[in-house]
């Protein structure tokens, strides 16, 4: 995983890297099936939330798997005007 991180960093910040050697990294493209989760998360009314329990309740219709849903809402951060996602969706 660290190899992929440094390759991504290098591509985004080329001026900061003079030389790079990465061993044991494949250039494979990985498919994922997480777009539907991101769509559900983006539809959550962040400005209307009072707490994570409310968020969990709203998401439960679309994400019935309790451990998965609870894992996702750990990334909700309280703000003065509701919540925001810690992760960049």
Query: What's the chain look like in SS3?
Result: CHHHHHHHHHHHCHHHCCCCCCCCCCCCCCCCCCHHHHHHHHHCCHHHCCCHHHHHHHHCCCCCCHHHHHHHHCCEEEECCEEEECCCC
pLDDT per residue as tens digits for the range 55-78: 999 999 999 999 999 999 999 999
| Span 40-57, pLDDT tens digits | 999 999 999 999 999 999
| Structure-token pair, residue 69 | 């849903």
Task: Say if pTM beats, i.e. exceeds, 0.75.
Answer: no
Domain locations along the chain: 1-28, 31-89
Percentage above 90 pLDDT, the chain: 65
Q: What is the pLDDT of residue 26?
A: 67
């Amino acid at each position: 995983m660290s190899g992929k991180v440094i390759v991504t960093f290098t591509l985004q910040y080329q001026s900061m890297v003079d030389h790079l050697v990465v061993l044991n990294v494949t250039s494979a493209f990985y498919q994922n099936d997480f777009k539907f989760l991101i769509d559900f998360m983006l539809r959550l009314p962040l400005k209307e939330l009072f707490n994570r329990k409310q968020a969990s309740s709203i998401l439960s219709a679309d994400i019935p798997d309790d451990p998965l849903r609870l894992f996702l809402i750990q990334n909700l951060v309280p703000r003065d005007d509701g919540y925001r996602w810690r992760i960049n969706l």
